[in-house]
Amino acid sequence: MIEIFTTGGTIDKVYFDALSEYQVGPSAVAAILRDNNVHAPHRVTQLMRKDSLELTDDDRAAICQAVAASEAARILVTHGTDTMVETARALAGIEGKTVVLTGALQPATLKHSDAEFNIGFALAAAQTLSPGVYVAMNGQVLDPSRTRKDREAGRFVAD
């Protein structure tokens, strides 16, 4: 069983026409897994609905607590990309679990989003990697202790 915790971020942003802006909406993960005929045993739990720039130390502590308390040994966390590495580093002290963080640079609701690929890739990574904490974005599995988001290039890179 893979435990999937959702926290919000761009992956879950939806366009509210009346406001002319994007806001974090309900998690897209369950629909993406269903629509792509994914049968790997999993459970989706929404922890929060926040842009990652709005996450606090208390939010990160809640994410860490949920991951540590989960009975699952394999965990996927969807997260906003701006502070994903920071949260991954906070999770590093949890032993005996494979924890993979992923997100999207474009909302899942957009046609050219990287959300579906990243979720599928991260789900595979969570099933096959040894225990530890990883960032899985755009076809790469990265060590969060040596990773950063390159905003200009629109991807994550190893330092």
Residue 50, token pair as written in the block: 């926040």
Contacts of 43 (CB under 8 A, 6+ apart): 1, 2, 3, 4, 72
Task: Find the catalytic residue in 6, 10, 81, 98.
Answer: 10
Task: Map tokens 């720039």 to a residue.
Answer: 53
Is 10 noted as a catalytic residue in this protein?
Answer: yes
Instruction: Give the separation between CA 83 and CA 101, rounded to whole angstroms.
Output: 11
Name residue 101's beta-bridge partners.
Answer: 77, 135
Please identify every residue annotated as catalytic. Answer: 10
